[in-house]
Amino acid sequence: MNQHSAPDSAGTSPRKAATLEFRSATKRYPGQDDAAVDSLSLEVPAGEICVLVGPSGCGKTTAMRMVNRMIDLTDGDILLDGKSVTESSPAQLRREIGYAIQQIGLFPHYSVADNIATVPKLLGWDSKRISARVDELLELVSLDPHETRDRYPSQLSGGQRQRIGVARALAADPPLMLMDEPFGAIDPINRERLQNEFLRLQQEIRKTIVFVTHDIDEAIKIGDKIAVLQKGGKLAQFATPAELLMYPNGKFVEDFVGADRALKRLALQRVRDIDLWKAATVRVGEPVAEAKAKLADSDINMTLLVDDDQRPVGWLADAALRGERVEKRLRSTAEPTVELDDILRDALSDLLASDSRYGAVVDGRGHVAGVLSLEVIGNFLQETPVAARSGAELVEDPA
Amino acid sequence: MLLLAQLQTPDRSDSGCVQNDGFCPSWIFDNFDRYVDPFFQHIVLTIVPVVIGFAISFGLAVLAHRRQWLTGPITGVTGFLYTIPSLAFFFLLQPITGRGYTTAFIALTCYTLLIIFRNVTTGLGGVPVEAKDAARGMGLTDRQLLWRVELPLAMPEILAGLRIATTTTVGLAALAVFAGAGGLGAELDADYQFKSNVVVAGGLAVLLAAALDVIILAVQRAVTPWQRARAT
C-alpha cells in the first residue's frame, strides 16, 4: 500500500535517530503583536533529548507542535534529517514522528494493543508484525503483555496509561519523538519513577526527543540540552544543564532557573565524582596504637568501626580506644551510609536527615570507600564544574 | 388492499361483553388475526422513517461537524419541523403527496430529524479533545479521525438518539391513519369505544416500541464493549 511498510520485521532493527534543526522558525498569529515563536534557531543532534522549557505562554508547546505541523510555520523552517518538514504532507510526516502529550489521549474505545498499533496500522503493517511489536513495546515500558494488551484504558492506572502513551508514540520506531509534558499529570512519586524509567528507556532506544516542560527541575534531570524560552517565543539560552546552572545567560534565565541553582547542580553529580574524605577504619580487637595512627592520618576526628568484610558498623566512642585493643563501644551506628553511585543531592538529603555530621560511603560491594560530609559537598559547590554530566547519564542501572 | 382493513369496523356480534364495549379475552383470542396486518404496517411506518431520518440527520450532523456554522440553521429548520402538529402535517401534505404511505413517511421522517441530529452532534462534540489531538498527531487524516475515533466514541450518544426517535415514531405512527396509511392507529380509530380493541391495538404499539428499544440497546452494548470495561 505504501513504501513505509517495507523494512524490518517486528521492529528488531531500530531506525536511526534523526537530527532536528530549527532554522529561524517563527509563528505569528494574525492580530497579535508578539510572535508566539520568534525566530527560533537551534540544532538537536541525533539521539539527544532537547528540553524546551519556560513559563506558560513562552511558545514552547507551539515550537514543538510546529515540528509535526500540528501548527504551521509562519516563517523560517524546521529540518528533519536535513529535509524540510513542509515537504511531506502533514499525515505522512506525523506517522514518522512519535507524539506523546500530557493528557495522553489514549483512545477509550481501543484496547491497549489497538492503541499501540495505531500508527503501524496506518502504515499498513501486517497483523503478525503488529502483534509482535505490541508485545515488545509493552515489555519495553515494563508492563506484562498478557495482562495488559486486551484491557481498555479505563481499566489502567494513571502511570500505566502514561506508559502506554509512550509505547504508542514509539510504535513505528520513529526517528524523532515529541513529548509535551508527558509526566505533567502524574503525582510526584510516580513522576520521579516514570522519569527514571524514561531515561533508562532512552539509553536503550536513543531517539532524538523534543521534550516540553514548564518544570526546570525536570528539564535539568531529563535534558541533554535545554532551550529556555521566554515570553514572545524568544530563545533565552540553549545550553547543557550544567552550563545553564553555572552560567545563566541574563536575569530571566537566572530567575527561571531559581535561586537554588547551585543546589540543583547536586542533582547532576554522583558521590563518586567528588573528592571524599579518608576515614579511619578499625576492627574490634585491633591494637589501639594502630587505630590511633589511622586516626591521625584520616581527615576526620572519628574512627569508623568496620566488620571483617570492611562493611561499616558504626562510629566508635572515645571509650573504645582507652584500652589495649579496640572495643566495640559505639557512639552511633554507621547510618546513613551513602553509595558511590548515589546522586549527590540524595546523599546530602540523607546526611541532613540524620544526626550524624558524616556519612560513610560504600562501594558496590558494601566496602567503605570514604566519608562524605557537609563540608565536602560545600567544597564541591564552590568549584567550577568541569565534568558535570547530563541527567541521562545519571540514571541508576536497574541492576 | 391493506388499506381496506381500516374501513371495516370490528365484527361485534354474539356475547354481552362485546355488546358492552368490555374487555373480552375470548373475543381477543378469536379476532387476533385482524391485527396482524396492521401490526406489520406499523412496523413499516416506524422503521422506514427512522432509517431515512437517520441517514439524513447523520449526514447533516457530520457536515455540521466540519462546518460548525451550519449547526444553528440545521437545528432551526429541524426544530421548526418538529413543532408542526402531526395531524396538520398529514393534512398539509395530502394535496401534494396524496393519501397513503408517502405522506406518512415524509411527515414521520421529519419528526426524527431534530432528535437524531442533536444527538449525533452532541456525541461528536463530546469526543475528548486529547484523543483527537493524539489522533491527528499520529497522522490520522480527517476522514480516519471521523470513522475510527470520533464516530465510535459518539456511538452511545448516537444510539441513544436513535432509541428516542424510534420510540417517538412508534407513537406518532398511530396517527398515520389520518394520512390514510393504516397501521395500528387504523384499528384504534375504527372502534375506539371498544375496550378489547383499544387494549390490543394500543398494547401491540407499546410492545413494538419496547421491542425496538431493546434491540437498539442490544446493538449499543455490542458495539461499545469499552463502556462496560471498568477497573478491576
Q: Give the span between the Cα atoms of B222 and B226, in whole angstroms.
A: 10
Cell 396486518 sits on residue: B37
Give the pLDDT of residue B16: 74
Q: How far is CA A124 from CA A19, A129, A168, A201, B135, in A?
A: 26, 10, 16, 26, 16
The three cell numbers of residue A342 are: 548515589
A93-100 average pLDDT score: 94
Nearest to A262 by CA among A275, A250, A244: A244
Whether A386 has a pLDDT exceeding 60, the answer reads no
Q: Give the span between the Cα atoms of A53 and A335, in whole angstroms.
A: 38
The C-alpha of B228 sits at a distance from chain A's nearest C-alpha, in angstroms, of 10
Q: What is the pLDDT of residues A155-177, one digit of tens each?
A: 998 889 989 999 999 999 999 99
- Encode burial over A348-383: b for 16+ CB neighbours within 10 A, e otherwise: bebbeeeebebbbbbeeeeebbbbbbeebbeebeee
The three cell numbers of residue A321 are: 580506644
* CATH superfamily of the domain spanning A271-382: CBS-domain (3.10.580.10)
A-chain residues within 8 Å CB-CB of B146? Answer: none
Give the pLDDT of residue A284: 87
Q: Give the span between the Cα atoms of A109 and B223, in whole angstroms.
A: 10
Q: What is the pLDDT of residues A67-94, one digit of tens each?
A: 999 999 999 999 999 999 999 999 999 9
pLDDT digit of tens for each residue in chain B (232 aa)?
444 444 455 555 556 777 777 778 787 788 778 888 889 999 999 999 999 999 999 999 999 999 999 999 999 999 999 999 888 888 888 888 888 888 889 999 999 999 999 999 999 999 999 999 999 999 999 999 999 999 999 999 999 999 999 999 999 988 888 888 888 888 888 778 888 888 888 899 999 999 999 999 999 999 998 888 764 4
* Stretch(es) of chain A classified as CATH 3.40.50.300: 3-259
Q: How many CB pairs under 8 A join A and B?
A: 79
User: Least CB-CB distance to B140: which of A109, A122, A168?
Assistant: A122
Strand locations in A94-172, DSSP E? 97-101
Chain B, nearest residue to A102 by Cα: B130
A3-259 placed in CATH 3.40.50.300? yes
ipTM of the complex: 0.81
A-chain residues within 8 Å CB-CB of B231? Answer: 154-156
Q: Give the span between the Cα atoms of A298 and A99, in whole angstroms.
A: 55
A-chain residues within 8 Å CB-CB of B154? Answer: none
The mean predicted confidence, pLDDT, of chain A is 86
Give the pLDDT of residue B55: 97
- Top mean-pLDDT range of A28-32, A150-154, A320-324: A150-154
Nearest to A225 by CA among A22, A30, A5, A1: A22
User: Least CB-CB distance to B134: which of A92, A101, A155?
Assistant: A101
The three cell numbers of residue A158 are: 494513571
Q: What is the pLDDT of residues A9-67, one digit of tens each?
A: 444 456 888 999 999 999 999 988 888 999 999 999 999 999 999 998 899 999 999 99
Please state the domain extents for chain B. 34-226
Chain A, nearest residue to B149 by Cα: A107
- A106 and B134 within 8 Å at the Cβ level: the answer is yes
Give the pLDDT of residue B58: 96
The C-alpha of A357 sits at a distance from chain B's nearest C-alpha, in angstroms, of 48
- A99 and B224 within 8 Å at the Cβ level: the answer is no
Q: Is B37 exposed, middle or buried (0-12, 13-18, 19+ CB in 10 A)?
A: middle
Does the CB of B137 have a partner CB in chain A at under 8 Å? yes
Give the pLDDT of residue A343: 84
Nearest to B19 by CA among B191, B187, B194: B194
Cβ proximity of A192 and A110 under 8 Å: no
Whether A3 has a pLDDT exceeding 50, the answer reads no
Amino acid identity at B60: L
The C-alpha of B165 sits at a distance from chain A's nearest C-alpha, in angstroms, of 25
* Stretch(es) of chain A classified as CATH 3.10.580.10: 271-382
Does the CB of B144 have a partner CB in chain A at under 8 Å? yes
Containing A230, the helix (H) or strand (E) segment is strand A225-230
Q: Give the span between the Cα atoms of B219 and A153, in whole angstroms.
A: 22
Whole-model pTM?
0.77
Q: What is the pLDDT of residues A276-301, one digit of tens each?
A: 888 888 888 888 888 888 888 888 88
Grade residue A192 by pLDDT with cuts at 50, 70 and 90: confident
Nearest to A307 by CA among A273, A286, A333, A283: A283
Q: Which CATH number is associated with domain B34-226?
A: 1.10.3720.10
The C-alpha of B138 sits at a distance from chain A's nearest C-alpha, in angstroms, of 5
HSE, CB side, 13 Å, CA atoms: give it for residue A378. Answer: 4
The C-alpha of B219 sits at a distance from chain A's nearest C-alpha, in angstroms, of 16
